[in-house]
Amino acid sequence: MKVLLCSMILIQSVLLQAEDGHNLWLGAKSTSPVKVICSKKSATIDIAREELLKGWMGKAEASVVLTVKPDKSIKGDGFKLSLTGVQASNDLGILYGVYELLRRQQTGVSIKEETINPSYERRMLDHWDNLNGTIERGYAGYSIFWRHGIDSLSVNDKERTLWREYARANASVGINGAVLNNVNASQLMLTTECLERVKAIAEVLRPYGIKTYLSIKFSSPMLIGGLKTADPLDPEVIKWWKKKIEEIYKLIPDFGGFLVKANSEGQPGPQDYGRTHADGANMFADAVKPFGGIVMWRAFVYTASDEDRAKQAYSEFVPLDGKFRDNVIIQVKNGPIDFQPREPFSPLFGAMKKTSVMPELQITQEYLGQSIHLVFLASMWEEFLQSDTYQEGPGSTVARCTDGSVLPQKHTAIAGVSNIGHDANWCGHPFAQANWYAFGRLAWNNKLTSEQIADEWIKLTFYQYSSGNAGHADFSKDWVENFLNPVKKMMLGSREAAVNYMMPLGLHHIFSANEHYGPGPWWAPARVRKDWTPPYYHKADTLGIGFDRTLTGSNYVSQYHAPLNSQFADLETCPEIYLLWFHHLPWDYKMKNGRTLWDDICYHYEIGLQQVREFQKTWDKTEPYVDKERFTIVQSKLRTQCINAQVWKDGCLLYFQQFSMKPIPSDLERPVNNLKDIMESDMKRR
């Protein structure tokens, strides 16, 4: 019997369809015939009809009615779902409803009559793509928009096909906007030649409901307009921008607006002319308002000063609350530093009561192992969105403060920094696709749990349908127990594992400089400003470790509403996951589990390493249930991740041990690398 069972599993693994990941979670399914009834015709309705015809898994020859009809309960692009069809107030709502219907069929979720509305009006992908084809913090090849650079801006059918596939993937999870270029923008983005290409991209994305947006360089009037200034209050500058914006909307009537990074990390901005962020943002807002456009103004600003870098965005923007136009949205990174594996939510969420604020999340894993490490980010984003800001008392979560539930906002939005590139599987790692999917799902419904999203994605991405299960999602007990459940457990534990082997207990920004990949807590050249070096953040010395942000330190805690400010400041109530973020503590400080701080740091690094080793074991057991191509690439990447976790553990513990002067607990594995070798290897990569 065992021999027969093994033979069956072997045959199954051989017959599994080869996958390069290009189809994402939208792979071909064995389907049933269906009749689609809709009196309205449009490009978007045609797409919805096509998706039903090729993806229907309900009763054979069933009739599905698509109805475009206003309803007070339907908001924006929302829809009403039922067993017999979809009703929406616009064509795009029909398309979203069709994708929801098909998703439920393919994942085995019951279909009932209900109204489903999006959490945010604008659900954005921010592409950090450069006009030379490269992608800043991109780990999956060249840009899908600018691969050949500005010397080759003509458009071909192959590109249009790729953009259409991209648009379909986004629409399937409710994403409805794309910023096509890097926030560190080139002035050339606004040249007529580049705008003509943007027009071509917009034409492909439009039927899928995706509006195009652009990042712009604040000093463009000087760099390509021949003006002597970019002062936002200068009449000639205002006139130049109005003319340029008119040109854009003539080419792209549904153009969404601008994303602006100004007076940040060397980028030009209104402060160069003694003006405020509000002055700069409002100039653009006034110019795009007649066309229905918005301005997303990034709050990622900090200067080389003695003030705690974590405090600076709040210090700059809170005094401007209420001074921005109503079509300006302040775009705020989830944490106050920079997309760290774990950091408390930025206090700007909950601080600005008269200004629209939107979260910015990072899908591409700049600080989380890039395209090598398996780290499912939905659990991080769930933690962030459900954090209580206490803006209007208990229950004022980040999600509710940004989706218009707590205070009215003229516009609501959420953005994710894209991990998409020209690689066949789009994201560089088969499991990195899950983060693109998860962002879209949370942007549509910010109350979803990471477990729900992981369950959906695994079923959509890895379950291979055959003629035997056409017409319904029939997940075998064997597949659920030996693939779905263990892989889901691995995904849901992966972010915490990364925190453990990288920066536990509130440590942050101790990465290798520039590439932000491996450990680098030692990096502190004299020529570099202090807040760009890891010692600025960990502050390890013979007395202890951590950043004092209490009243006796930088007083960053004061930027949070009560009771958070006092909870973070008090060692008795500060969550240990943020302990060293808010406190500088002695190495022998006693943790709640009875260990010393030094010993607990050691255990966290060890636990993280062991978690990744368990991921390897989990994945190796899935070989009979996944195609060889994806199995092999994930297996290889997990091996590299395990090696990296070992380097993180060894490098950080051996470095910090120089200050603690304490032994690594005897029951833990000894370091296998030498600190000198790790540091020398780090220097060679610079």
Greatest pairwise CA separation for the chain in angstroms: 85
Q: How far apart are CA 318 and CA 305, in angstroms?
A: 19
Contact 36, 61 (CB under 8 A): no
Catalytic residue positions, numbered: 265, 338, 366
Q: Which are the contacts of 478, defined by CB distance < 8 A and separation ≥ 6? A: none
Assign 3-class secondary structure to 221-274: HHHCCCCCCCCCCCHHHHHHHHHHHHHHHHHCCCCCEEEECCCCCCCCCHHHHC
The two beta strands, 79-82 and 85-88, are antiparallel
Q: How far apart are CA 13 and CA 447, in angstroms?
A: 37
Measure the CA angle with vertex 391, ends 388 and 397; round to 5°.
30
**DSSP type of residue 14:** H
Written as six digits, the tokens of 398 are: 């980040």
- Give the C-alpha distances (Å, rounded to integers) separating 459 from 151, 411, 621, 631: 42, 34, 17, 16
Contact 83, 111 (CB under 8 A): yes
Q: How far apart are CA 82 and CA 150, in angstroms?
A: 48
Q: How far apart are CA 637 and CA 371, in angstroms?
A: 9
Measure the CA angle with vertex 394, ends 322 and 399; round to 5°.
60
Helix (H, G, I), strand (E, B) or coil at 613: helix
Q: Where are the beta strands (DSSP E) in 114-171?
A: 114-116, 122-126
Residue 627 identity (one-letter amino acid):
D
Q: Which are the contacts of 420, defined by CB distance < 8 A and separation ≥ 6? A: 125, 127, 138, 140, 144, 166, 426, 427, 436
Q: What sign has the CA pseudo-torsion 155, 157, 158, 162? A: positive
Where do we find the tokens 């994402």? Answer: 24
What region, left, alpha or beta, does residue 5 occupy, with left being phi > 0 and alpha being psi -120 to 50 degrees?
A: alpha
Contact 505, 604 (CB under 8 A): yes
Of 680, 338, 670, the closest CA to residue 510 belongs to: 338
